[in-house]
Amino acid sequence: MNAHLIPHPEAAGSAALSERAARVIPGGVNSPVRAYGSVGGTPRFLVSGSGPYVTDVDGNEYVDLVASWGPALLGHAHPAVVDAVQQAAARGLGFGASVPQEAELAEEIISRMPVIERVRLVSTGTEATMTAIRIARGATRRPLIIKFAGHYHGHSDGLLAEAGSGLATLAMPGSAGVTAETAGQTLVLPYNDLTALEAAFTEHGDRIAAIIAESAAANMGVLPPLPGFTEAMIRLAHAHGALVILDEVLTGFRAGPSGFWGIEQDRVAAGVAPDLLTFGKVVGGGLPLAALGGRADLMDLLAPLGPVYQAGTLSGNPLAVAAGLTTLQHADNAAYLRLSHAADVLTGAATAALDDAGVPHRVQRAGTLFSVLFGDFPSAPRGYAEVQRQDVAAHRAFFHAMLERGVNLPPSAFEAWFVTAAHDDVALARIIEALPDAARAAAAGGAPGEGE
């Protein structure tokens, strides 16, 4: 048995499955952050979920704060979502043709975000952002894209430079297999730095097709834009004939009913808006589905109407559409109030426990998304370089202490925490009860000097 897979007694089944998977799957996982690479220990193999809880192969139940990395907005196995998927499955798993609910889901997205006039359904967030960039280049006939360090937009070749998410967890600056020519078409700038953005447009303005940015960064921990930054970014791009793509794959319909743009748009002048937006996670209700949307003139550049090609056999799959549509239909005001309440309770409780244990930290939040930065951060960090100074040893100790007490946190210091509308007072109390011991573990396990 590999040393890093030596289990606690209650994780023997997960350890055996980890070893089995490692023999046939690279790293034993099909997405890197699942490998527990930054926290160590035995990755848990989950077999079921219900409401705010998940259960592993060894029969251990955890209060879940991963929520399938966001899609389980209503909680795991929500009865209405499960019923909709079962009914869709009974009619057929896919037809290679359009189904009626595709337009209904597009209408639901547009009703929540009126800045969008057309929607194209795809299968993954990576596909959504890749397609949005293709539209931007097709519309402007320009080659360059601006992204921000620490923002993650999927694993397409041109967007992996200084990305967050798993790349931050694994401390990787980019990816092998991406050519220098491809990487050279992406300008990576520090987030929340308007001076750097202005300089990039001064030097390359007539070659920049678009800026792509997470609506609120949530792949290096949660880091919202500074007040005024989003509006200034949009105005600057438009002044130079470039487009703005807001990535709401994580924040869309989770940060709030209209994503983080729904929060942000109240702070910007009338008429200032992104050109394209991308969605994933919640929009598929837990099944593989994503979307992009925007102005009609841009979206109509897509085939079959226009010259920008995109296609997918599974795009608009009836099971995924049923799951996404039902999730959004049940994500009403009451659900968002429960989400906000759960986020309020847990951010307050985490702060109190860490303060009591003397653990330097900062809680970051964007709508109902939040994360905890371990380390000394007297003021809110502005970008990726500051976030990378956090005390990952303290997070590691905190993570395992919470896991041992029945709370499933994201296994990375660079990921958001996700509550669900099913996190009731009982579930919240279990989390709160675990926090003091975990905070003391973080105080003992933190690395001196990190985060300073």
Q: Which residues are catalytic?
A: 152, 247, 281
Strand-pair partners of 302: 308
Q: In what order do the strands lie in the sheet with 46-50?
A: 46-50, 53-56, 61-64, 407-408
- H/E stretch holding 407: strand 407-408
Contact 363, 350 (CB under 8 A): yes
Burial of residue 179 (number of CB atoms within 10 Å: 0-12, 13-18, 19+): exposed
Q: How far apart are the first and last CA of the chain?
A: 37
Q: What is the Cα–Cα distance from 69 to 232, expressed in whole angstroms?
A: 30
Burial string for 274-296 (b: 16+ CB within 10 Å, else e) reads bbbbbbbbbbbbbbbbbbbbbbe
Phi, psi of 351 (to 5 degrees): -60, -45
CA-nearest of 428, 424, 420, 371 to 398 is 371
Sign for the CA dihedral angle at 433, 436, 437, 438 comes to positive
- DSSP tag of 417: B
Sign for the CA dihedral angle at 346, 347, 352, 353 comes to positive
